[in-house]
Every structure is written in structure tokens, then in C-alpha cells.
Amino acid sequence: MMIEILADAAQIALSPPVIVAVLFGVVLGVTVGAVPGISGDMAMALLLPFVFTMDTAPAIGMLMGVYKGSLFGGSVSAIMFGVPGTPGAAATILDGFPAKKAGMPNRALHTGLYSSVFGDFSAVLVLIFIATPLALLALKFGPREFFALYVVSIIVIASLDRGRVALGFASAAVGILLSMVGRDPFSGAPRYAFGSSDLAGGLALVPVLIGLFAVSEIMLQVGRTWKHRLQEENRRIEEAAAAEGYDISKDRLSFREYRGLWRAVVTGAATGTIVGALPGAGATLAGFLSYGLTKRFSKQPERFGKGALEGIAAPEAGNSATAGATLIPLFAFGIPGSGSAALIGAAFIMQGISPGPQMIESNMVIIYAVFGLLLYGSVFTLITSKLLLPYYARISMLQPRYVLPVVLGLALLGTYATDNSIFDVWVLIGAGLLGVVMRVAGMPIAPVALGFILGPGLERSLRQSLILGFNEMSYFFQSVIAASIYIVALVVLVLFAWVTRK
Amino acid sequence: MRLMTLIVAVALVGATPAAAEFPERRPIRVLTPYGAGGGIDIAARILSAVGERHVGTRVEVVNMPGAGGMNAMVFVHNAEPDGHTLVISDYGPLVTLPLRERTPYDADDWVPLFQVTEIAPTLVVRPDFPDPTFEGWRQRAIEKQGRMHVTHGAYMSSSPLPLLRLEQISDIRTNHVPTLGGGETLQFLLASIVEMAITNSSSIASSVQAGRVIPLAVPTAERVPELPDTPTFTELGYDVVMPVWYTIFASAKVPEYRREILAERIEAAYASEEARQMARRANIYLRPLSGDALHEVYVETVQTVTETIQALDE
């Protein structure tokens, strides 16, 4: 019986139309992921109309291909330009961009690729074998457990920068404040809108992230050219020299070197799988948390932020692991844990398969076919990206003055196209200006992004907890899971302080 | 004879110039005030998939979320009233929003063309609830004196309004925990964080079949086909009729003959075998309604929602 199901599933998964659909999805995903401003979610939403006319396996395969591909693709522009191609790749910048600047883009990109594929593949295996038990744990996460997770995440990430902890918290607070602009999530009343219906709609994630990370960088570049033309000239000469002197044969990632990163890769994959399975968390949190944990436990934490390959391997394994893991609550309980999972869920619904308790049982063949194509989809990511990476590495050595206008143009276009909104373009420019001010003042950018992303969840879980606990503070600590999260975080912080003092 | 036919044909074309011009060749845009992938989006995409053959031109779905749905509504309200820009929505952005905030439109500025489906915000409990019937739930809610946790979507969305109405006309009081929507609502119930949840009938149909949740009551005029054993509030003696419809609207500024053409052709599109097949696959129970009957439903919804929200403000 089971053998028959697996044979039928394999026949579907390995049929030419399905393979072509997955391949198409992966190539499209890596490409849109690499382009800042165009996220995998956006490409998936644009493909959704075609899902109606396709069979289930190729339709889901195509969307999952885009999803997987974009999670890796995001790291390409993160490493090459210091701009996250997708929000999930924001943590990859921290070491990816310095690594490129240190003249090893090829090694950085390959580290990202192998870690992405490892994280993705292992999360799919987890999905296949322990989807139901893990979903049971995730389902136990109520508002106070999420509140604990968010608080701990913000503390961990804000204190990443040793010596700049206060600035880190200040940045995270700016991010949380920005996330409050818009409608009150529960009452719908406008906040910080000052009578503008655009502001009442809130600030969208895409323009804020691209503005902070990309546009601010471009603005600074332009500013430098104008003010310090001479300095710029010198820098250009240096860069040209670096470009001429760049020898890809000296910038290869050896197996031995990559094997040394196993701790970071496994930490990232495990973190990403667990975070991905939690509804509401997602690739960005997974990336930052993997990075933070790996840095905390690294033997050489001082190398982080200066182009450490560990600092690329961990967030890439982490964010890619969420692709498979985010399907766990969707498959077991019909709960989409992220925007991408909601789009995959919609595609299943369009195909007449309701995500939920009975989904796997009543659609055994097709679900196992989906499992199969998820596995070989990872291999497609590996092969297609491997073929393209040498070209990407070369492109990354182009002078910024050629590349940045293209990136800016794509960022503006992508931002406008996401919601057909001119207001978003202003947000992009505003976030860019904020980024410039922060960079000049020496404030780290990453905690702003994190605060902005986690802000709504933090607020929601706090307010829901207060309602559920009738405003009693003790309610927050009466849950075993929440209390454990606080205790583990406390132990880790104390341990870390003790270790570094030694 | 041939000449006669020609004369008649010319006369006919001359007599109905307007009908011949509409719809023009450019596409008809149907805006949704929500993002891609939700129930309203899927309902609209069915029309987009089969529309061209029935409507006479391409039908494009445009998702314009934001500002609580106001962005899409204002866009359609300000568009050229030529019948090429329509909106598909539930009553939130059309009726609730203008009651809560200053909007450039109100409920009278819209004319319903075609109702695609009707959904019941259903009261559900877990099977381990002591007496999983409406009466059993009512008793327990009264005993707990407002300390029973119940969950639903955001405060003014379509899921809590039937419960708010019920509380306005009865002695039931509960502690409302709002969520972002269906997924989180169901999770809070299944994880035993709350005792009761209100969520869409179509999204819980499979959980009901699997015995994971038990529906107590629906706020529709008649029982809904996906939950045939669940009583309506009216049957239980409470005047709460607040279903959620997904209806396609035109601005009232669109000339009447154009609205009539659109209503007729959209109805034909949803009646096609292809559309019905798609709806079945997507678990959408088509409940087509148009003309006077639809208009009546709209007027009733506006009235009930207005009363409920005014009572809240008092």
C-alpha cells in the first residue's frame, strides 16, 4: 500500500512537466531573489493566476521553486552590494558584504549557496519525518510564548554589536516605533498618521528595508562623490586595481575550508527549521537568530562582521531552512506561518486541497509527490546557482557607480510595482535618508530592520497577553514554554558574559 | 429581402449605440481591498479566468490592500465611472469603514452587481467543551461573568460583529481577544488559549468533519450548506443576521444600463461550468444573487451594521 503510494508519487514528481516547472521556479526565484526590491513573495503572487490552470504538482513545484530559489538569491545581492535581495537575507549582509570587500566574493557566494542548500534540504527532511510532532509544539505557542520569543530575539540581536549595545537597543526602538505607524491592528484606528490616509496605511516592509540598506548607501556614495571628489578618485583607482588584480582562481572555496564551517551550518539549519515552524516568525528572524547564536558560540567571534564565512553560512542555512519548515504548521493545521506560506496555502486551496488536519491523509499521493519535488528542488538550486555564481562573482567587482544606479532603478521599480503605490516610493526615499543619518551617527542598521519586522508581532502578543491575563503581569510567566525561553536566554547571556570575562 | 435585412440591421445598430460600445476592448479591472491569496481574491480570480468569454473583454484582478481597505475603495470611487473599474469586497470597507472614519464615500455610493458567495462567521468550540451546544455555551458564558475568553478577527471586522450584536441583545458577556485573522483564531482555539472562536464557515469545514471543532451557531438567514446541522441564531431565538458576502460593486455614478450589462454578464460567467468547477476545487460555495434580491440584502446589511456600531459607541 505505502509502496504503491510512493511509486505513484514518484511518477508524478518525476514527470517532465513537473521537473520543468520546478526548474523554471528555481531559476526565476534565484533571479528575483538577487534583484533588490523584488521578493520571492512578489513573484509568487504574480504567478498565482496561473495556478488555476495548472495541475497540482507542477503548480506547487513552481511556487516552491521560486520560494527556495529566492531565499538563496537574496544572499547574492546581500554579498555583492550589501543590499538584501529579499528581507530574509538581511542578516547575510553583516559578514557577506565585508567578505566581498575583502576580495573573496566567490568564496562568500559559495559558502552561502552550500549553506542554503543544506538548510533547505535538511528542513524538508524534517518536514517529511516529523511534521506533525513539531507542529504540535508550534501550536502550543500562544501570545505570551510569542512575546517571550520576540523579546529574547530583540535582546539577542540588539546586543550583537559589542561596544555598541546601547546604540543597538536605540536602533531596535526606532524600528519598533516605525512599525507602529499605521492602523492599530485590533481597533483599526489610525496611529501617527497626522491626517494622512497614506500614513494610516502604515509603512510597507519592502521600501523600508530597501531604503535603509540600499538607498542610504547609494545616497552616501553620491554624497561622497560630490564632496570628496578627490578621495573618491583615489578609491576608484584602488578599486580598479582590485578589480584587475582579482583572480578568481585564488578565491575558491575548498572542501576543507567549508567543512570547518559545519558548526555554523548545522546551527543555522536547526534554528531555521524551528523558527520556520513557528507561525509568524520567518526567514528574516531565522537569519538574524542563526547569525547571533553562531557568533555567540563561535571560537572566533571577533572575526564576525569582518567577512567571516561562518557569518554567511549560519544565516543562509537559517533562512533557507524556513522554506520547508514553514510548511509544517500549514500541512498539519492549515496555519500559514508566513506570507510565502499563505501564498502556497492559497495555491493548494485553488487546487481543491484544503490545508489542515486531513490534508496529508486524504491527499497522500500528491503530498508525497510534493515532498519529492521539494527534495530535488534543492538540487536544482545547487546546480543552476553553481553554474551562475562565477558570473555573479565577476559582476560584483564592477564599479559601484555603474551598479548602484541600476540597483536604485530596480529598487524604485520593484517598490512601486509591489503595491502600485507612489507613497511607497516616498517611504523608500525617507527610509534612505534615515539610513544616512544613522550611518553617519554610527548607529547599526540591522536592529532597525529587526525592530520593524518584529514590532507588530511584539505589540500583538503583548496586547493579547494582557487581555488574556486580565492585565496581571504574572500571566506572562505562568507558561512553561515562556518561562523556559526566558530562563534559557538568561542562562545564555550570563554564560556568555562569564566566558568573555575569562 | 436582402435589402430589408440590411435596413433592419442598420436600424438595430443605430437604436442601441450605447449597448454596442460597452464594454470597450480595454480590460475591466476588479479591485480587491485585500492581498493576494485570500477568499475574496480567489473568488475574483475565477471571474478573471473565465471572464473574457462572457463579459466581452478581459477581466483583471488588482489587489490593493492598505488603509483598512480604503485605498482600493477610494481608487474605484475616483475612477472614471465608465464601468471598467469595479471592486469586489465584503462589507467592511464599504459599510463599516465609513461609519468609523471620515471617508470620501459612504455606503450609498455603491451599487451591488453580483454576489459571488455568502460566508457565515461561525461560533465554534473544541469537542472537550463541557456541553458543546449553543445553550451549554451560553450558560457557561453567563456563569463566568465576562471572564470567558473568546477570539475572532480585529475588533471592527466582520467576525466579531455578530457576537457584539448578540451581546447587545442578550445577557451574554465575554472577554474578546482579537487576532489578525482566521489562521490565528483557529490556533488559539485548538491550543486551548480560548474557549470559543468565531471564524469563517468555509475555512473550518474540514476541521468540523475531522471532529476537531464543533460549530454552535451561524448568523445567516438560513442554514449554510457546508454546515447543514448547525442552527442559525434566528432559530435559537436571537435576531442576529450578519452574514459576510463577497459581492462585486460598481460606483453609483456608473450609468444604469452599463451596470445592468455588467451584472448580467458577470452572472453568466459565474454560472458557466468552468467557473463552477473552479469554485468547487477552491471550496467556494457559489451563492449567486443579483437584482432586487441582492439590493435588499445590501440595504439590510447596511442597516444592521449601522445599528450595531452605533450601539457600541453609546
Residue A330 has pLDDT above 60, yes or no: yes
CA-closest candidate to residue A118, choices A278, A280, A302, A261: A261
Share of chain A above pLDDT 90, in %: 21
Question: Which of A223-232, A359-368, B128-137 bottoms out in mean pLDDT, i.e. has the lowest?
Answer: A223-232
Residue A134 has pLDDT above 80, yes or no: no
Which 3 state secondary structure label does DSSP give B224? coil
Name the band, by pLDDT with cuts 50, 70 and 90, for residue A130: confident
Among chain A residues, CA nearest to B191: A140
pLDDT in the model for residue A120: 92
> Which of B40, B187, B213, B313 should one mutate to test binding to chain A, selecting the residue with the greatest count of A CBs within 10 A?
B187
pLDDT in the model for residue A293: 84
Contacts of B205 in chain A (CB under 8 A): 354
Contacts of A421 in chain B (CB under 8 A): 66, 71
Tell if the CB–CB gap between B278 and A143 is shorter than 8 Å: no
pLDDT in the model for residue A157: 67
A-B contacts at Cβ under 8 angstroms: 130
Task: Compute the distance between CA of residue A357 and CA of residue B209 in angstroms, rounded to an integer.
Answer: 10
pLDDT in the model for residue B15: 45
Q: Please give the ipTM for the structure prediction.
A: 0.77
Name the band, by pLDDT with cuts 50, 70 and 90, for residue A495: low
Name the band, by pLDDT with cuts 50, 70 and 90, for residue A248: low
Burial A137-165 (b: 16+ CB within 10 A, else e): ebbbbbbbbbbbbbbbbbbbbbbbbeebe
Least Cα separation, residue A109 to chain B (angstroms):
33
Tell if the CB–CB gap between B188 and A333 is shorter than 8 Å: no
pLDDT digits (tens, 9 = 90+) for A452-477: 877 888 899 999 999 999 999 999 99
Sign of the torsion angle spanned by Cα atoms A174, A175, A181, A183: negative
Contacts of A45 in chain B (CB under 8 A): 35-37, 63
Alpha carbon of A24 to those of A214, B34, B131: distances in Å? 28, 28, 53
Task: Compute the distance between CA of residue A308 and CA of residue A190 in angstroms, rounded to an integer.
Answer: 44
Tell if the CB–CB gap between B45 and A49 is shorter than 8 Å: yes
Residue B29 has pLDDT above 80, yes or no: yes
Name the band, by pLDDT with cuts 50, 70 and 90, for residue B14: very low
Least Cα separation, residue B38 to chain A (angstroms):
7
Grid coordinates belonging to B225: 450548506
Tell if the CB–CB gap between A48 and B45 is shorter than 8 Å: yes
pLDDT in the model for residue A244: 56
Nearest Cβ partner for B66 among A48, A201, A357: A201
> Which of A349, A463, A476 should one mutate to test binding to chain B, selecting the residue with the greatest count of B CBs within 10 A?
A349
For residues A384 and A26, is the Cβ–Cβ distance under 8 A?
A: yes
pLDDT in the model for residue A249: 67
Among chain A residues, CA nearest to B204: A356
Contacts of B63 in chain A (CB under 8 A): 45
Nearest Cβ partner for B212 among A52, A357, A419: A357
Q: In what order do the strands lie in the sheet with B110-119?
A: B59-63, B28-32, B85-89, B244-251, B110-119, B286-289
- Mean pLDDT (whole number) for A341-359: 76
For residues A221 and A404, is the Cβ–Cβ distance under 8 A?
A: yes
Q: Following DSSP, what letter does each residue of A411-438 receive, concatenated?
A: HHHHHHHHHT-HHHHHHHHHHHHHHHHH
Specify the higher pLDDT residue, A407 or A369: A369
Name the band, by pLDDT with cuts 50, 70 and 90, for residue A499: low
pLDDT in the model for residue B7: 52
pLDDT in the model for residue B23: 86
Nearest Cβ partner for B193 among A142, A185, A351: A142
Residue A133 has pLDDT above 80, yes or no: no
Specify the higher pLDDT residue, B291 or A246: B291
Least Cα separation, residue B85 to chain A (angstroms):
16
Domains in chain A, number = 1
Query: What structural domains and CATH numbers belong to chain B?
Result: 11-119+244-301 (3.40.190.150), 121-217 (3.40.190.10)
Which 3 state secondary structure label does DSSP give A141? coil
Among chain A residues, CA nearest to B97: A188
Q: Which amino acid is at A56?
A: T
What is the average pLDDT value for chain A, to the nearest integer?
A: 81
Q: Report which listed range, A104-113, B90-99, B108-117, is most confident.
A: B108-117
Residue B12 has pLDDT above 50, yes or no: no
Contacts of A279 in chain B (CB under 8 A): 183-184, 187
pLDDT in the model for residue A177: 94
Contacts of A470 in chain B (CB under 8 A): 147, 175
User: Phi first, then psi: what are they for B244, rounded to 5°?
Assistant: -105, 120
Residue B132 has pLDDT above 50, yes or no: yes
3-state DSSP percent of chain B in helix, strand and coil, to 5:
45, 20, 35
pLDDT digits (tens, 9 = 90+) for A163-181: 677 888 898 899 999 999 9
Question: Which of A282-286, A394-398, B85-89 bottoms out in mean pLDDT, i.e. has the lowest?
Answer: A394-398
What is the average pLDDT value for chain B, to the nearest integer?
A: 88
pLDDT in the model for residue A231: 56
pLDDT digits (tens, 9 = 90+) for A413-428: 767 766 667 888 899 8
Tell if the CB–CB gap between A334 and B206 is shorter than 8 Å: yes
Contacts of A341 in chain B (CB under 8 A): none
| Residue range of the domain that includes A362 | 2-501
Least Cα separation, residue B291 to chain A (angstroms):
29
Least Cα separation, residue B199 to chain A (angstroms):
13
Tell if the CB–CB gap between B177 and A464 is shorter than 8 Å: yes
Least Cα separation, residue B5 to chain A (angstroms):
43
Nearest Cβ partner for A349 among B42, B63, B212: B42
Name the band, by pLDDT with cuts 50, 70 and 90, for residue B226: confident
Residue A20 has pLDDT above 90, yes or no: yes
Residue B17 has pLDDT above 50, yes or no: no
> Which of A48, A199, A458 should one mutate to test binding to chain B, selecting the residue with the greatest count of B CBs within 10 A?
A48
A39, with CB counted inside 10 A (0-12, 13-18, 19+), is buried
Least Cα separation, residue B211 to chain A (angstroms):
10
Burial A193-203 (b: 16+ CB within 10 A, else e): beeebbbbbbb
Contacts of B207 in chain A (CB under 8 A): 334, 356-357
Task: Compute the distance between CA of residue B71 and CA of residue A296 in angstroms, rounded to an integer.
Answer: 45
> Which of A354, A465, A467 should one mutate to test binding to chain B, selecting the residue with the greatest count of B CBs within 10 A?
A354
Among chain B residues, CA nearest to A479: B193
pLDDT digits (tens, 9 = 90+) for A31-86: 878 776 567 776 787 777 677 778 889 999 999 999 999 888 888 888 887 777 77
Q: C-alpha angle with apex A284: A282 to A287, nearest 5 degrees? A: 105
